[in-house]
Amino acid sequence: PYLEDVVEGARSSGKRIQMDFTTLEYMNSASLPPLIGFLRKLAEEKVHGELLYDAKRKVQAASFRALEMIAQNSKYTKVRGVG
């Protein structure tokens, strides 16, 4: 629900969303479904959004690479490794 409100706010104001996970120290598989839903919602609402992660952190790289594959299906979503 929170992320849906964020998407709606961006859509109604014409803004883009960027979420920065580069400082995230731990992530497990339970983190993925909400982010997948978020990427889908961005695409449905035609809101541009980008998730950033630290490509050097193994704990992030595996999960976010999977999200990159999902994000590639829409011109509105992007997942990008930095560092």
Per-residue pLDDT tens digits for 17-76: 999 999 998 888 899 999 999 999 999 999 999 999 999 998 898 899 999 999 999 999
pLDDT number for residue 16 = 97
Give residue 72's pLDDT: 95
Q: How many CB atoms lie within 10 A of CB 10?
A: 17
pTM greater than the 0.85 cutoff? yes
Q: What is the pLDDT of residues 6-21, one digit of tens each?
A: 999 999 999 999 999 9
Q: Which residues contact 67 (CB under 8 A, 6 or more apart)?
A: 32, 35, 36, 39, 51, 79
pLDDT exceeds 80 at position 1: no
d(CA 61, CA 51): 12
The count of other CB atoms within 10 Å of the CB of residue 83 is 10
DSSP H or E stretch at residue 49? strand 49-54
Q: Are strands 77-82 and 17-20 parallel, antiparallel or unpaired?
A: unpaired
